[in-house]
Amino acid sequence: MLTVFVSEQHQKRVVADIQSRCVQNIRATGAFSSNDLRFHKVQGSQVKGDNTALNGIRLFCKESAQASIVRSIESGTGQWGSWTSTQWCSEGFLKAFLLQVETHQKGGDDTAANDIIFICSNGTVLAGHGQAWGNWGSQSNACERGISSIRTKVEQPTGDGDETALNDVRFFCH
């Protein structure tokens, strides 16, 4: 099984390392996030207080873009934010991604992963709805047969007033 990842990760503290996969011979064709904003889960910007940004990623596994949903798989997720709307590859499957990560802020508010973009096998780009902190890394190598598994590193709540939630993600190829 080939692993695709980008080297831009944030390692502030010990984090939970969680993996989930599609059933055999099925690939991910859609995603949403949680972002303090959740396709991905994301937390919005906090005027006062702590920002955690990207909290989680959920993938939808289908035999094809036209098939009914087989199963959703979810990375470990932070407890903040709400899920964004689901985005789908119009044809094909998820094959690559880019991750936006903020480096450790040395006394400032850490957010770690802020946003993610997926690239579908037909070239469609599924843009995340995350925050603007940090820098975009380079595009991952492509999973030519599709992404079928996700592994994340998520900081567990510490109560210290500077949480980060999702710190890193790796995807595994079909």
Tokens, residue 3: 């692993």
pTM over 0.95: no
pLDDT of residue 125: 92
pLDDT for 142 equals 92
- CA pair distance 149, 73, nearest whole angstrom: 8
Provide the residue-wise pLDDT of the chain in tens; the chain has 174 residues.
Answer: 445 555 555 555 545 566 777 766 676 776 655 443 334 455 555 555 667 778 888 888 877 656 666 678 887 777 777 788 788 888 888 899 998 888 766 776 677 778 889 999 999 998 877 677 778 888 999 988 888 888 888 777 677 666 777 778 888 887
- 42 with 55: CB under 8 angstroms? yes
Residues 6+ apart with CB under 8 A from 107: none
Q: What is the CATH number of domain 3-173?
A: 2.100.10.20
Q: What's the CA gap between 66 and 76, in Å, rounded?
A: 28
CB 85 within 8 A of CB 20: no
Residue 39: predicted pLDDT: 43
